Every structure is written in structure tokens, then in C-alpha cells.
Amino acid sequence: MADEKNLSMEKIVSLCKRRGFIFPGSEIYGGLAGTWDYGPIGVELKNNVRNAWWKMFVHDRSDMFGLDTAILMNPRAWEASGHVSGFTDPMVDCRNCKLRFRADHLDEGKYGEVKIIDGKKACPNCGSTELTEPRMFNMMFKTFIGPVEETANQIYLRPETAGGMFVNFKNVMDTMRPKLPFGLAQSGRVFRNEITPGDFIFRVREFDLMEFEYFINPNDWEKLFESWVAEIAKWLDVLGLDKNKIYYHEIPDGERAHYSKRTIDIEYQFPFGMKELCAIAYRTNFDLTQHQKFSGQDLSYTDPYTNEKFIPHVLEPTFGLDRAVLSAIVEAYTEEKMENGDTRAVLKLPRVLAPFKAAIFPLVSNKDNVVGKAKEVFKLLQPVFNVTFDDNGNVGKRYRRQDEIGTPFCITVDFDTLEDDTVTVRDRDTMKQERVKIAELAGHLKAKLV
């Protein structure tokens, strides 16, 4: 049996659609650029990624507090954070066909090779050289609060979850009384009016973030930054990613945001190139200082041992959930040449992330006693794991279906089961089969799933 990665995004996108992971957004209306919908299988994978992240960074630590803050915020918060003036990308417009392009993406050849005519760049769509000079375009989506659509009522859909954590710093201090260093964690939906969405769910206009704001004494920033880089590496292991496909891109002076003293973009080798998967930034005390200034509230911290009063600094590890899902799928996708010459596609997802932990099959679907027994096994396992029942088509087809969605175990109930209360358990990765007593099944799987 030979393993091949044999990766192309077409294969990934097609598998995601065919097997119910991810569908184009608003598909029956012709779609909506930059939006995708998670299907019944995809939502399980996405929830498992989010839950694994929450467990690792919130439940398994004693210095992290979770939050779930509003998407709509007082617009002053976005003025304070610099998003109103600075959350921008350079764009150029074609005066002829009226299409808009991201200037840096145009230069990188994202729209195809740029033709130069008479020393001028040509529009990748219509070929006209009537392109405007690059202008800055704010990526925040705007909407109105209340019944009157006027500038005074204009608000934004949040482009990151960080703002909600900074504005609750004082509430958490007052209620939980934490000591530095401690963090706030939040996962939720954010919106960015990307000029060039693309590469499937890599660059979209609506996505989920998982972020921390980790508040620290500035004296400790260097060692805590390093320890967070090590934690991020452990998280990439949870996603099952190959270390050789990960690159820690130290953002040089002059290219970082003005408030950042150090930023590392953690990149992953996607089929379309080495691209940012997540990041960590040392944001100094920029955010709390700004929110203190704009809100007029005291956001300082008094050290209980030294009585020193200061505005905490912050380390910000930030993870795009959809990019995490995409990287896990890309990494797990494998094609294997079998001894009989067939090729099987299998998603070798880490077991903890697999949408279903086991699939239960009756060997035949037209014998009540076999089907009834398989349903009993399903009901036995259902309270323990997320399991699925499959009696469609022959067993070979069911294996193929479950392999493609990454189900670690397939359990077949057959005629022998009626005699001896054992089932066949087939392992996704090795395809080896063993007979296990139904009474021992939950324990047997549990031991293999940790």
C-alpha cells in the first residue's frame, strides 16, 4: 500500500462539497463571493477544532478566562483601536470595467500575469490601462443601528474579536481579581470586506477567529513571548500538522504594525503556497492605553506585591479557525494505492478532530435482526462518542465514504454477531479488522481514541 499526498485544491474543494464538509455560500442563488457554508460533517470538524483549542488554552490552564462578547460595538472602540483610520488595504480600480483589485495582489500575480502596455499595467479583466493609483480601502463592513440610516447611527461588524476583550479588561479585573500574567480568550465570528477573497476558505469575508489577549508586566515580555511560540507549536501538533511544512516568519522592523515590538506569522505549506495560518504579536500597552484615553476609564493594574501601578502590556496569539480547519484537512488528505490496484482517498485526521469517532454498519440492510442489532450497538455508543449509522450501499462503499470523512473506526454487525455478541472493528488507517465483544466496545474504542 503506497501513500501519496497528491494534493490539489480542486480535490480538497470537491471532497468537501461531495461529503458535506463545506458548500459555496448561497449556492442556489449563484453564490456570494467570499462566503462558504459548513455542512453537517464540516460543522462537526469545526466544532472539534474550536473545542480542542478551548480545552488546551482555557480549561487546561489556570491563567485564562473565556469571554463571548458582542459583534456590534460602540464605534468609538474602533476609533481607539485604530481600525477606523488604519484597517485598510491598498486597492486600484479599473476605470473601464469598474472592477477593483488589491494593489499588492495585482503585483504578486494573484489575478494572473500582469501585462504592461506602453509602460502601464493593464487591467487583468478587460486589458485597459486605465487603472487608478492605489488608494486605501477600509475593510470593515458598515451597518446602521436603529431605524434611521444616517451617519450618526453607523456602526461596524467587528473585524477581530480582540476589541471585545480589551473593553472588558476592567470587568474581568473587578469580577475575577486575576494577577498578571493572565489572559482573556474568545472565539467568534468576524467580518472583513476583503478585496480579493479566494483559495477556498483561506481568505473569506466572514470567518471565525480564536484569539487571546495575554496581559503581562512589560519586564517579562521576551520570555513569555517565547513560551507562547512553544505553546502554538503544541497546538499545531493537535491539528496534526507536519513540522516540516511550518515556517515561523519573523516580521522585520519597518513591516510590523506601529504598536508591535515583535510579530511572528506562523505559515503553513498549503497547496497554493506557504501562507499565514496564525500569528503572535507583542502589542505593548497600545490597546489598553488607547481604550483608557477614548473611554476615560482607568484601565491600569496595581501590582499586589510592589504596589507599582501601570497599564498592562499584551501578547496576542491569534488563530483563524477556518484556516485551522483547512490546514487539518489538507494535511490529513491521503491517497493510497491498494494491492488490488484501486486508489482510496482517506482523511487521516487526528482522532480527536474526526467528525464521527465510529460508524456502525449492519452487514445487510434487509434483515431486521441484523439491522436491529446494529441499532442497539449505535444506541450503546451514542452517549459516549459522536457516532453515525450507515446502511446505504454495500460495505465497501460505506468504508470509502467513512474514509473520506476521516471516521477512525467502522463497526460491522453481521450474522455472527447474533450468535456471539461480537462485532468487526476496522481501523481507518491500517484497514486491519478485529473482532471485539459488544460489552467491551466502548472501552476498546475509548482507549484508542485518546
Residue among 251 and 436 whose Cβ is closer to ligand GAP: 251
* DSSP state at residue 308: -
Q: Are strands 358-362 and 387-389 parallel, antiparallel or unpaired?
A: parallel
Instruction: Please identify, using beta-carbon distances, which residue of 276 and 416 lies nearer to ligand GAP.
Output: 276
The set of residues, in sequence order, having a beta carbon less than 8 Å from that of 262 and lying 6+ positions away, is 225, 250, 251, 256, 281, 282
Q: Which of 69, 129, 318, 365 binds ligand GAP (CB under 6 A)?
A: 318
> For ligand GAP, what does the binding mask look like between residues 39 and 78, x meaning CB under 6 A?
----------------------------------------
Count other C-beta atoms under 10 Å from residue 182's C-beta: 19
* Interaction residues for ligand GAP, span 171-200 (CB under 6 A): 192, 194
201 or 358, CB closer to ligand GAP? 201
- Copy the grid coordinates of residue 261: 515590538
Report, in Å, the least distance between residue 9 CB and ligand GAP.
Answer: 15
Task: Kindly tell me which residue out of 104, 220, 276, 416 binds ligand GAP, with binding defined by CB under 6 A.
Answer: 276
Query: Within 277-306, which residues bind ligand GAP (CB under 6 A)?
Result: 277-279
Per CB under 6 A, 320 contacts ligand GAP:
yes
Q: Pattern of binders to ligand GAP over 122-161, x per CB under 6 A?
A: --------------------------------------x-
CB 158 to ligand GAP: min, Å: 10
Phi, psi of 359 (to 5 degrees): -115, 135
Q: How far apart are CA 168 and CA 72, in angstroms?
A: 14
Subset of residues 365 to 404 that bind ligand GAP, contact rule: CB under 6 A: none
What are φ and ψ of residue 81, in 5° steps? -75, -15
The string of DSSP codes covering 15-60 is HHHHTTSEEETTGGGT--TT-EEE-HHHHHHHHHHHHHHHIIIIIT
Check: CB of residue 89 under 8 Å from CB of residue 136: yes
Question: How far is it, in rounded angstroms, from Cα 425 to Cα 444?
Answer: 10
Look-up of cell digits 474579536: 161
193-232 footprint of ligand GAP as x/- string (CB under 6 A)? -x--------xx--x-x-x---------------------
Rounded to whole angstroms, the Cα distance separating 124 from 117 reads: 12
Instruction: List interacting residues with ligand GAP (CB under 6 A).
Output: 160, 162, 192, 194, 203-204, 207, 209, 211, 276-279, 316, 318, 320, 322-323
